[in-house]
């Protein structure tokens, strides 16, 4: 029943730091819940700078450390995404402004701030690209774990 799959797209500025981690963690979360086959999951960038590139090595290291498989490469969001996906998640307020600006009129995807699903209320997943270490990537991982669970719980409540 592939047509019934729920579809989620994770967005950040470059698609090499935060959204790959969010994508990998969300995929692992649904896999661990044995509902991975019910989801189509991807990530993409607002900008085109890193199209075709693998994630930043610190993002890959962080995922590896936590047993999150990942082998996707960066792509830029396209207008079709706004009707293909059910949920498009941004990482910060600038992502949300960019998404709202790019969404074609009448498109159906829900544009959501991923951090709004953090039970700890840490709403912004900060861009760690220019950091001199990997701490921001670890934080992004921890936030993605909480937000993935929080979002899936909110969906369950909605459908009950």
User: Catalytic annotation on 147?
Assistant: no
- H-helix segments, 46-134: 57-65, 81-84, 93-102
Give burial (CB, 10 Å; 0-12/13-18/19+) of 58.
buried
What does the block give as tokens for 29? 């979360």
Site for ligand 4NP contains 27 (CB under 6 A): no
Annotation marks residue 32 as catalytic:
no
Does 14 bind ligand 4NP (CB under 6 A)? Our answer is yes
Which of 8, 9, 12, 30 is close enough to bind ligand 4NP by CB under 6 A? 12
Evaluate whether 24 touches 146 at the Cβ level (below 8 Å). no
Q: Which of 56, 81, 118, 127 is catalytic?
A: 127
The closest alpha carbon to 68, from 80, 57, 76, 59, belongs to 59
Q: By CB under 6 A, tell whether 18 contacts ligand 4NP.
A: yes
Q: What are phi and psi of 83, to 5 degrees?
A: -110, -20
| Binding piece for ligand 4NP, criterion CB under 6 A, among 1-9, 16-24, 61-69, 116-124 | 16-24
Q: Which is nearer to ligand 4NP, 49 or 57 (CB)?
A: 49
Compute the distance between CA of residue 119 and CA of residue 122 in angstroms, rounded to an integer.
Answer: 8
Polymer length of the chain: 160
Closest contact distance (angstroms) between CB of 140 and ligand 4NP is: 8
Contact characters 99-138, ligand 4NP, x per CB under 6 A: ----------------------------x-x---------
Residue 62 lies near ligand 4NP (rule: CB under 6 A): no
144: contact with ligand 4NP by CB under 6 A:
no
C-alpha to C-alpha distances, 44 to 9, 62, 76, 141, nearest whole angstrom? 7, 19, 5, 17
Residues that are catalytic:
12, 18, 127
Residues that bind ligand 4NP (CB under 6 A): 12-18, 49, 127, 129
């Amino acid at each position: 029943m592939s047509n019934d799959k729920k579809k989620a797209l994770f967005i950040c500025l470059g698609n090499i730091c935060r959204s790959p981690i969010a994508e990998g963690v969300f995929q692992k979360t649904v896999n661990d819940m044995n509902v991975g086959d019910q989801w189509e999951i991807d990530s993409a960038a607002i900008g085109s700078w890193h199209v075709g590139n693998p994630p930043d090595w610190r993002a890959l290291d962080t995922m590896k450390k936590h047993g999150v498989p990942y082998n996707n490469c960066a792509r830029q969001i396209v207008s079709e995404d706004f009707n293909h996906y059910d949920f498009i998640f941004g990482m910060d307020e600038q992502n949300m402004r960019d998404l709202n600006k790019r969404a074609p009129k009448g498109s159906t995807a829900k544009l959501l701030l991923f951090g709004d699903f953090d039970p700890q209320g840490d709403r912004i997943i900060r861009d760690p690209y220019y950091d001199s270490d990997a701490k921001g990537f670890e934080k992004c991982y921890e936030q993605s774990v909480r937000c993935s669970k929080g979002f899936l719980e909110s969906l369950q409540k909605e459908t009950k």
